[in-house]
Amino acid sequence: MKRLALSLVVCLITLPVRAGDGEGAKQDFAQKAAVSNIFEIEAAKIEISQGRAVAAKQFAQDMLRDHGRAAGLLSAAARNDGVTVSQSLDAQHQQKIDAHKNSDPANLDQAYLSTQVTAHQQAYELFVAYAKEGPDGPLKNAAVKMLPDLHMHLTRVQGISNK
């Protein structure tokens, strides 16, 4: 009986830690996904207004549309999962946006495409990991739903940048 009581106490003590870990995972994923999404949108705006290459500008148009939709989906999922996320870039991503804004027009298209390959690789890895390991709920469902588009974006930008 003592062993059972001790087991119950141990279970009760560890439950909040696990729940906290799940909340931390939700918050971390939601924040990283939101920043990634905002970065995609802001970088696309710069490419559309200053870029020269038709393929890069078309990709940027599509990113603006797709990531605009994703922003709503992520925001709703985070809210439904009880998580709040910032609607601004972190310092690292802001620095990349500033570099794009100040980029030599002749190099902007290649700089945009290069950062998009990296950004989409990172986003795809983030979403795959959360879809597999994240706690069940609206954010995990959103991650699973968004994976095919992220994979398509990654494949497409890799193809464009390899031309």
For the segment 109-126, what is each residue's pLDDT rounded down to a tens digit? 999 999 999 999 999 999
pLDDT digit string (tens) for the chain, length 163 residues? 444 333 333 333 333 323 346 889 999 999 999 999 999 999 999 999 999 999 999 999 999 999 999 999 999 999 999 999 888 999 999 999 999 999 998 899 999 999 999 999 999 999 999 999 999 999 999 999 999 999 999 999 999 998 8
Q: How far apart are CA 150 and CA 33, in angstroms?
A: 12
DSSP 135: P
Name the residue range of residue 127's domain.
24-161
Q: pLDDT tens, 17-45?
A: 233 468 899 999 999 999 999 999 999 99
Asked if the structure places residue 155 within a domain, the reply is yes
Structural domain count, the chain:
1
Q: CATH no. for residue 91?
A: 1.20.1260.10
pTM of the model: 0.84
Tell me which residue of 145, 154, 152, 147 sits closest to 127, measured CA to CA.
Answer: 147
Asked if the structure places residue 4 within a domain, the reply is no
Asked if the structure places residue 115 within a domain, the reply is yes
Asked if the structure places residue 8 within a domain, the reply is no
Asked if the structure places residue 40 within a domain, the reply is yes
Asked if the structure places residue 14 within a domain, the reply is no
Tell me which residue of 107, 144, 112, 109 sits closest to 128, measured CA to CA.
Answer: 144
Asked if the structure places residue 136 within a domain, the reply is yes
Asked if the structure places residue 3 within a domain, the reply is no
